[in-house]
Amino acid sequence: MDFVLKEEHGFSYIDEGEGEVLLLLHGLMGELSNWDKVIEDFRSDYRVIIPILPIYDLPLLTTGVKTLAKYVHKFVKYKQLTDITILGNSLGGHVALIYVLAHPTFVRSMVLTGSSGLYENAFGGTFPRRGSYDFVKEKVEYTFYAPETATKELVDEVYRTVNDRHSVIRILAMAKSAIRHNMKKDLHKITIPVGLIWGKDDKITPPEVAVEFSEELPDAELHWIDHCGHAPMMEQPVEFNRILKAFLKRIGI
């Protein structure tokens, strides 16, 4: 489904529905379309907002997870958002963690799915070689339990990105920043309710990462999705949305 991409004040974002705010953050190689099924299912009862994170637009010296968290806060203040529920996949989860620690009064609850911040086996330990479409296709498929989830459109988008020198330099810088910025020592400070929705077959942030998050976060609940990899909202959207709805209902949102 196509949604209206709004452009204003230097921000690009989707803003659908009305009600309690769900702020969705995409991953390093993620697209807004990764969240299509969440928007479709939740915009009738919630206000679903997805800002495009400026991963490829930051000056190289400031490219990092903390800079993205600062960008999110500028966006939140510009849109005058309060009591938000922040959801993050992969790098987006890492940014959400940093944001919550820096600005706890703005966030009511958090949902992490395949989040980095503790450990991430990006692209199966190797970065896609520029120019090799088959290699890129193999590594995108590695993200999912079912390889067919990696559509040609998705592979083409990643292929274009890794063959753009400007973009790939920033991807590498962002990935290095994420590795350096380990969250383990700070997780105990996050006291809001946290829902962890994890693919049981995630090879990028494996199940033991989810277990560690659940042990370190004071108010976390962990939910597994079988036959599912690193992006549950894409690969198993029905089950992901069911768990998300139940979590939101349980905490009164």
Which residue from 174, 213, 176 is spatially nearest to 68, judged by alpha carbons? 174
Tokens standing for 73?
């806060």
pLDDT of 198 strictly over 90:
yes
Q: Around 227, how many Cα atoms within 13 Å sit in the side-chain half-sphere?
A: 8
What's the chain's average pLDDT?
A: 91
Model pLDDT, residue 177 = 86
**pLDDT tens digits for 5-46?**
999 999 999 999 999 999 999 988 777 788 999 999 999 999
Between residues 140 and 20, the one the model is more confident about? 20
Residue 129: the pLDDT is 55
Q: Are strands 47-51 and 11-16 parallel, antiparallel or unpaired?
A: antiparallel
Q: What is the pLDDT of residue 164?
A: 85
| All domains in the chain, ordered by first residue | 5-250 (3.40.50.1820)
Q: For a pLDDT cut of 90, what percent of the chain falls above it?
A: 72
pTM score, two decimals? 0.93
Tell me what pLDDT residue 112 has.
Answer: 98
Q: For residue 122, what pLDDT is reported?
A: 59
